[in-house]
Copies of this chain bind each other. A is one copy, B any other.
Amino acid sequence: MAAARDEISDAAFRLFGIQGYATTSVDDIASEAGVSRSTFFRSFGSKEAVIFPDHDELLARIEERLRSSPSDAGLAAVTDAVKIVLFHYVAEGERARERYGLTSTVPALRERELVSGARYQRLFRRYLSHWADASPEAELRAEMTAAAVVAAHNRVLRRWLRRECTDPQREIEQALAAVHRTFADESEASIGMLVVPAGVPASAVEKAVKRALEGVAVRNLDQ
């Protein structure tokens, strides 16, 4: 049973909420949970880790999800994966918000969270650059794309944690659509070409082009 883990984690959040993070020692948590210091450190490697209980498991799930996705999936697989992460946190509900309260307050915990975000980003980058060709441009692009996906996730999650957002599903779709729009695979992009008969004045061409692009822009901004 992993009930011991949950017991300890609950005790930790309880005490952190009352006394604050810095002023509760691991001994406090252990005795509150009714276990020994030893079992605390066996269950969670550190005091910080007790805040993020199922992180490794989630990361492993995401990796599995990406590993099993077809090699032509590209960005779509990664955006799917990041949605899994977001909804995991949303499903936690108030517990996630308690954690946010702590990570907002305690620098060490904020850093820890940042680090785990970077783990996802690294994973995404690896898969994206694995799917693409091996050119330096493609690798930079993969890195930027991974960063953008994580940024989109972070943004929506933060808004949800702050109750600034009631429909995370819709917002993450919108945000990831923006990512898709700016990072969709080049193979989908076509080269625009404009053929102009000789004698047509440049001003007329410019007007026509602007009008044409205006339509495109409007269509793109709509989801």
Please give the residue numbers on chain A whose beta carbons come within 8 Å of chain B beta carbons, in ascending order.
111, 114-115, 118, 137, 139-141, 143-144, 146-148, 150-152, 154-155, 175, 178-179, 182-184, 186, 188-198, 202, 205-206, 209-210, 213, 218-223
Query: A205, B178: Cβ atoms under 8 Å?
Result: no
Q: Which of B179, B189, B194, B219 contacts A194 (CB 8 A)?
A: B194
Closest B residue, CB atoms, query A110 = B115
Chain B residues closer than 8 Å to A206, beta-carbon distance: 191, 193
7 A-B pairs (CB sep. < 8 Å) = A144-B147, A144-B151, A144-B178, A144-B182, A190-B221, A192-B221, A194-B196
Q: Which of B114, B143, B189, B205 contacts A155 (CB 8 A)?
A: B143
Tell me the interface secondary structure of chain A in the complex: helix
Chain B residues closer than 8 Å to A188, beta-carbon distance: 222
Chain B residues closer than 8 Å to A144, beta-carbon distance: 147-148, 151-152, 178-179, 182
Chain B residues closer than 8 Å to A141, beta-carbon distance: 178
Q: Which of A139, A151, A205 has the most CB atoms of chain B within a 10 A radius of its CB?
A: A151
Q: Which of B182, B191, B193 contacts A182 (CB 8 A)?
A: B182
Chain B residues closer than 8 Å to A111, beta-carbon distance: 111, 115
Instruction: List 15 additional A-B contacts (Cβ < 8 Å) besides A140-B151, A143-B151, A147-B147.
Output: A111-B111, A114-B118, A140-B178, A143-B154, A144-B179, A147-B150, A182-B182, A182-B223, A189-B221, A189-B222, A190-B222, A191-B210, A191-B213, A195-B205, A197-B198
